[in-house]
Chain A
Amino acid sequence: MTKRLDLYALTWRLPIILWQLVFFVGPVLFMVAISFFVVRNYRMQPAFDFVNWEKMLGRGYVWDSYWYTLFIASLSAAIAMLIAFPAAYALAFRASENLRRWAIFLLIIPFFTSYLVRTFSWYVILAETGVLNALLGYVGLGPYTMLNTHFGTVVGYLTLTLPLAVILQTVTMANIDRTLIEAARNLGCKPLATIWRVVIPLSKTGLIIAALFCFILSFGDFIAPFYLGGSQEPTLPILILDTTKSGQQWPRAAVVAIMMMLTLFAIAFTAIALAYRKPKGAR
Chain B
Amino acid sequence: MSDPLVTFRNVQKRFGDFVAVRDMTLDIQPGEFLAIMGSSGCGKTTTLRMLAGLEQPTRGEIRIAGRLMNDVKPHDRDTPLVWQSLALFPFLTARENVEFGLKMRGVDKAERKRRALEWLDRMHIGEFADRSVDTLSGGQKQRVALARSLVMEPQMLLLDEPLSALDANLVIRMQGVLTQLQKELGITFVYVTHSQSEAFAMADRVVIMSQGDIAQIGTPKDIYRAPANRFVAEFVGRNNILTGTVKEASSETTRLATPAGTFMVETPETEPQTGTKRSFVVSADLVSLSLEEPTAANRVHAKVISEEFIGSVVTLFLESGDGQEFKVQMQERQLMNYDLHAGSQVWLSWETENAHMLDGD
Q: A179-B87, A201-B89 are in contact. Are A186 and B132 (CB under 8 A)?
A: no
Given A188-B76, A281-B94, A282-B131, 14 more pairs with CB closer than 8 A: A179-B87, A182-B54, A183-B87, A185-B74, A186-B75, A186-B79, A187-B80, A197-B100, A202-B91, A280-B92, A280-B96, A281-B93, A281-B131, A281-B135
Q: How far is the CA of A128 from the CA of B113 in the complex (A)?
A: 60
Q: How far is the CA of A39 from the CA of B148 in the complex (A)?
A: 70
Q: Is there a chain B Cβ closer than 8 Å to A150's Cβ?
A: no
Selected A-B contacts with CB under 8 Å, 17 pairs: A179-B85, A179-B87, A182-B74, A184-B89, A185-B73, A185-B75, A186-B81, A187-B80, A187-B148, A188-B75, A188-B104, A204-B91, A279-B90, A279-B132, A279-B134, A280-B92, A281-B94
Q: How far is the CA of A197 from the CA of B94 in the complex (A)?
A: 16
Q: Which of A177, A182, A188 contacts B101 (CB 8 A)?
A: A188
- In the assembled complex, which residues on chain B have CB atoms less than 8 Å from the CB atom of A78? none
Q: Is there a chain A Cβ closer than 8 Å to B159's Cβ?
A: no
Q: How far is the CA of A202 from the CA of B90 in the complex (A)?
A: 8
- In the assembled complex, which residues on chain A have CB atoms less than 8 Å from the CB atom of B74? 182, 185-186
* Chain B: number of interface residues, binned into ranges: 20 to 34
Contact between B93 and A186 (Cβ–Cβ < 8 Å)?
no
Contact between A186 and B131 (Cβ–Cβ < 8 Å)?
no
Q: Is there a chain B Cβ closer than 8 Å to A43's Cβ?
A: no
Q: Is there a chain B Cβ closer than 8 Å to A245's Cβ?
A: no
Quote the shortest CB–CB distance from A36 to chain B (angstroms).
48
Contact between B130 and A182 (Cβ–Cβ < 8 Å)?
no
- In the assembled complex, which residues on chain A have CB atoms less than 8 Å from the CB atom of B148? 187
Contact between A180 and B105 (Cβ–Cβ < 8 Å)?
no
- In the assembled complex, which residues on chain A have CB atoms less than 8 Å from the CB atom of B130? 280-281
- In the assembled complex, which residues on chain A have CB atoms less than 8 Å from the CB atom of B54? 182, 185-186
Quote the shortest CB–CB distance from B78 to chain A (angstroms).
9
Quote the shortest CB–CB distance from B54 to chain A (angstroms).
6
Q: B195-224 CB contact bits vs A (8 Å, 1 = yes)?
A: 000000000000000000000000000000
Interface of A is mostly: helix
Closest to A181 in B: B87
Q: A281-B132, A281-B135, A283-B135 are in contact. Are A182 and B90 (CB under 8 A)?
A: no
- In the assembled complex, which residues on chain B have CB atoms less than 8 Å from the CB atom of A183? 81, 83, 87, 89
Q: Is there a chain A Cβ closer than 8 Å to B284's Cβ?
A: no
Closest to A188 in B: B104
Closest to A202 in B: B91
Contact between A177 and B104 (Cβ–Cβ < 8 Å)?
no
- In the assembled complex, which residues on chain A have CB atoms less than 8 Å from the CB atom of B90? 202, 279
Quote the shortest CB–CB distance from A281 to chain B (angstroms).
4
- In the assembled complex, which residues on chain B have CB atoms less than 8 Å from the CB atom of A177? 85, 87
- CB under 8 Å from chain B, chain A span 201-254: 201-202, 204
Q: Is there a chain B Cβ closer than 8 Å to A118's Cβ?
A: no
Contact between B75 and A190 (Cβ–Cβ < 8 Å)?
yes
Quote the shortest CB–CB distance from B143 to chain A (angstroms).
16
A-B residue pairs, 9 tightest by C-beta: A187-B101, A188-B104, A183-B87, A281-B132, A282-B132, A185-B74, A281-B93, A201-B91, A281-B131
Q: How far is the CA of A201 from the CA of B75 in the complex (A)?
A: 20
Q: Is there a chain B Cβ closer than 8 Å to A278's Cβ?
A: yes
* Chain A: number of interface residues, binned into ranges: 20 to 34
Quote the shortest CB–CB distance from A158 to chain B (angstroms).
30
- In the assembled complex, which residues on chain B have CB atoms less than 8 Å from the CB atom of A193? 104
Closest to A280 in B: B93
Q: Is there a chain B Cβ closer than 8 Å to A198's Cβ?
A: yes
Q: How far is the CA of A187 from the CA of B54 in the complex (A)?
A: 12
- CB under 8 Å from chain A, chain B span 45-71: 52, 54
Q: How far is the CA of A282 from the CA of B92 in the complex (A)?
A: 10
Quote the shortest CB–CB distance from B96 to chain A (angstroms).
8
Q: Is there a chain A Cβ closer than 8 Å to B260's Cβ?
A: no
Q: A182-B74, A282-B132, A283-B131 are in contact. Are A187 and B93 (CB under 8 A)?
A: no
- In the assembled complex, which residues on chain B have CB atoms less than 8 Å from the CB atom of A281? 93-94, 130-132, 135
Q: A185-B74, A201-B89, A280-B93 are in contact. Are A179 and B83 (CB under 8 A)?
A: yes
Quote the shortest CB–CB distance from B135 to chain A (angstroms).
5
Q: Is there a chain B Cβ closer than 8 Å to A31's Cβ?
A: no
Q: Is there a chain B Cβ closer than 8 Å to A275's Cβ?
A: no
Q: How far is the CA of A193 from the CA of B103 in the complex (A)?
A: 12
Q: Is there a chain B Cβ closer than 8 Å to A171's Cβ?
A: no
- In the assembled complex, which residues on chain B have CB atoms less than 8 Å from the CB atom of A280? 92-93, 96, 130, 132
- In the assembled complex, which residues on chain A have CB atoms less than 8 Å from the CB atom of B89? 180, 183-184, 198, 201
Q: Which of A179, A278, A279 contacts B92 (CB 8 A)?
A: A279
Q: B271-283 CB contact bits vs A (8 Å, 1 = yes)?
A: 0000000000000
Q: Is there a chain B Cβ closer than 8 Å to A62's Cβ?
A: no
Q: B117-137 CB contact bits vs A (8 Å, 1 = yes)?
A: 000000000000011101100
Q: Is there a chain A Cβ closer than 8 Å to B152's Cβ?
A: yes
- In the assembled complex, which residues on chain B have CB atoms less than 8 Å from the CB atom of A125? none
Quote the shortest CB–CB distance from A274 to chain B (angstroms).
13
- In the assembled complex, which residues on chain A have CB atoms less than 8 Å from the CB atom of B80? 186-187
Q: Is there a chain B Cβ closer than 8 Å to A189's Cβ?
A: yes
Contact between B134 and A282 (Cβ–Cβ < 8 Å)?
yes
Q: How far is the CA of A280 from the CA of B87 in the complex (A)?
A: 18
